[in-house]
């Protein structure tokens, strides 16, 4: 009863603000939850380094609920912040709404035709490919399971971890080892339904409301909340040959990666190319154990790891089906013979396509069992121009890091022509650039100073300062900056376009305040509810 009374009070406080535009009958059905035990559940995220409790959570039953809420804020003389939250995998509070409302987009909270009665994949005769329409809060693993079960289809481009929401990855870019060929996930979506910062529900695409479409893709939640996405599909392979090789020479490592992403033939190329850095003895055996038993540990010295104690791993996959399984060995052998890796370091395994795509989830389950998943994650993700990647190696991998990492370090190249520069994502201005991702886990109780949140955060700053001093012209992926001047530097020549799009689609700065791009992420909005 107390909860209902408080909700009624909230509605009564909102209605007079917006005059006759909205009525109690509009707001009463909204699943607004304001109890501290509920709001605290969305006060932090996977990063675990920020804490921001909203005043309320909306559990929408349809996109129209989201539109009503945003329009309420937009028409108020005191707009309150609103952010969409998928499954809480942000790392710096990007999905928070300090003293505002968080929209819980997760499928568990949504009663929607787009989740309970999912549309089947359909064929577009104009584009000559299949698509599927999905609710933006849907997990990619669920999208994959649905399309595999209904036509043997799959989205083209992936992230390494599939338990992320569609809207969340499309608001950033969505990248993995397939991006060199298919582009990021934002290059493989062809229509969106978006609720703008004015509370307008708009369908947009490359041909319809295109400015909003490109603004929202990679837009960090600044211009609208995605509610539906039309994802391009392809026929899913049945199996995957997964290969890993090691390098002690960084130049050979990057040269081979860049050669592999330049191959265009569907038959004479790998389908996935990623790399990572190994800087201590323990990681090499953790790396190898995902393929074979670690009962016979590998020594870095035996593989020529004299390059400042650093080795580099290149991993590739070749997709295949039963009908062409006989040729996969020859295809892989022909591709590998052109590479300059350590000969004794080849490790291979075969598994289903689903098992490969869902590989990181297995690691998650192991970490959860050990109590090592719910810890702070001070991640740092950078796009580094290919022309400066050797300088980055010397200054960071063989310099700042020493011999401790506290998590995987990914490094792999992408082709810029696979990215659409009309979207809001900022990448280096070179034909090839690398993602370098420091996927750290802070363990303050481990007894090792190098694994503490304080140490890892300081090391992140050292890396960023090194890039700045050396003029590497890096850009952050999943960006986080403290000041507006830093954000302006991040967007560079695209800042004016980004700012003008904000003025057009969210002129009252309602959305994405947790990013802190246009204003501080904490503003005195509580007067709206309690004054």
Q: Which residues are catalytic?
A: 89, 160, 274
Judged by DSSP in three states, 235 sits in strand
Q: Which of 12, 18, 44, 73 is nearest to 374 (CA)?
A: 44
Q: Within 10 Å of residue 260's Cβ, how many Cβ atoms?
A: 20
SS3 339: coil
Kindly list the strands in the beta sheet with 32-33, ordered across the sheet, starting from the edge strand earlier in the chain. 32-33, 56-58, 101-104, 82-85
Q: Tell me whether strands 129-135 and 122-124 are parallel, antiparallel or unpaired.
A: antiparallel
Instruction: Give the whole-angstrom CA distance, residue 353 versus residue 340.
Output: 27
Range 183-186, long-range pairs (CB < 8 A, 24+ positions) = 183/157, 183/418, 183/419, 183/420, 184/157, 184/414, 184/418, 184/419, 184/425, 185/155, 185/157, 185/158, 185/159, 186/217, 186/218, 186/420, 186/423, 186/425
Q: Taking a C-beta distance cutoff of 8 angstroms, is the pair 316, 270 a contact?
A: yes
What count of other Cβ atoms lies within 10 Å of the Cβ of residue 476?
A: 16
Dist. CA 476–CA 224, nearest whole Å:
22
What ranges in 36-109 are assigned the alpha helix state H?
36-39, 63-75
Q: Residue 484 corresponds to which tokens in the numbers above?
A: 């507006």
Q: Are 277 and 314 within 8 A, CB to CB?
A: no
How far apart (Å, rounded) are the C-alpha atoms in residues 325 and 333? 14
């Amino acid at each position: 009863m107390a909860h209902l009374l408080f909700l009624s009070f909230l509605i009564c406080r909102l209605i007079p603000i917006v005059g006759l535009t909205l009525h109690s009958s509009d707001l009463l059905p909204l699943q607004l939850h304001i109890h501290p035990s509920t709001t605290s559940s969305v006060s932090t995220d996977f990063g675990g380094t920020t804490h921001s409790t909203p005043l309320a959570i909306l559990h929408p039953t349809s996109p129209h609920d989201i539109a009503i809420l945003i329009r309420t804020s937009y028409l108020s003389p005191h707009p309150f912040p609103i952010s969409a939250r998928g499954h809480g995998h942000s790392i710096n509070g990007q999905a928070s709404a300090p003293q505002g409302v968080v929209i819980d987009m997760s499928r568990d909270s949504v009663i929607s035709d787009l989740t309970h009665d999912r549309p089947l994949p359909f064929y577009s005769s104009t584009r000559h490919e299949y698509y599927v329409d999905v609710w933006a809060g849907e997990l990619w693993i669920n999208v994959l399971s649905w399309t595999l079960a209904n036509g043997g289809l799959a989205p083209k481009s992936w992230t390494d971890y599939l338990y992320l929401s569609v809207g969340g990855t499309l608001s950033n870019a969505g990248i993995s080892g397939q991006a060199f060929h298919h582009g990021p996930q934002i290059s493989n979506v062809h229509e969106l339904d978006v609720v703008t910062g004015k509370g307008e529900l708009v369908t947009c695409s490359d041909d319809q409301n295109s400015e909003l479409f490109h603004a929202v893709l990679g837009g960090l939640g600044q211009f609208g909340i995605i509610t539906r996405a039309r994802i391009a599909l392809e026929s899913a392979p049945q199996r995957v040959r997964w290969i890993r090789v090691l390098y002690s020479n960084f130049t050979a490592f990057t040269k081979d990666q860049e050669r592999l992403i330049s191959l265009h033939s569907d038959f004479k190329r790998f389908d996935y190319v990623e790399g990572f850095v190994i800087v201590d003895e323990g990681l090499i055996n953790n790396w190898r154990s995902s393929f074979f038993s670690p009962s016979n540990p590998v020594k870095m010295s035996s593989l020529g790891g004299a390059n400042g104690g650093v080795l580099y791993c290149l991993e590739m996959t070749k997709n295949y089906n039963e009908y062409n399984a006989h040729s996969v060995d020859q295809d892989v052998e022909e591709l590998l013979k052109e590479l300059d890796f350590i000969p004794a370091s080849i490790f291979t395994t075969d598994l289903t396509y689903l098992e490969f795509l869902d590989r990181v989830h297995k690691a998650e389950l192991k970490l959860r069992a050990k109590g090592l998943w719910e810890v702070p994650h001070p991640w740092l993700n950078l796009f580094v121009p290919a022309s400066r990647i050797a300088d980055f190696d010397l200054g960071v991998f063989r310099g700042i890091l020493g011999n401790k990492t506290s998590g995987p370090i990914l490094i792999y190249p992408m082709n810029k022509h696979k990215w659409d520069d009309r979207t809001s994502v900022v990448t280096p201005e070179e034909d090839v650039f690398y993602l370098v991702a420091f996927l750290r886990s802070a363990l303050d109780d481990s007894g090792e100073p190098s694994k503490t949140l304080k140490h890892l955060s300081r090391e992140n700053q050292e890396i960023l300062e090194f890039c700045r001093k050396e003029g590497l012209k890096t850009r952050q992926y999943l960006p986080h900056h403290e000041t507006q001047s830093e954000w302006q530097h991040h967007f560079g020549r695209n800042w004016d376009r980004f700012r003008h799009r904000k003025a057009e689609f969210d002129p009252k700065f309602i959305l994405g305040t947790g990013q802190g791009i246009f204003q501080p992420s904490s503003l005195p909005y509580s007067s709206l509810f309690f004054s």
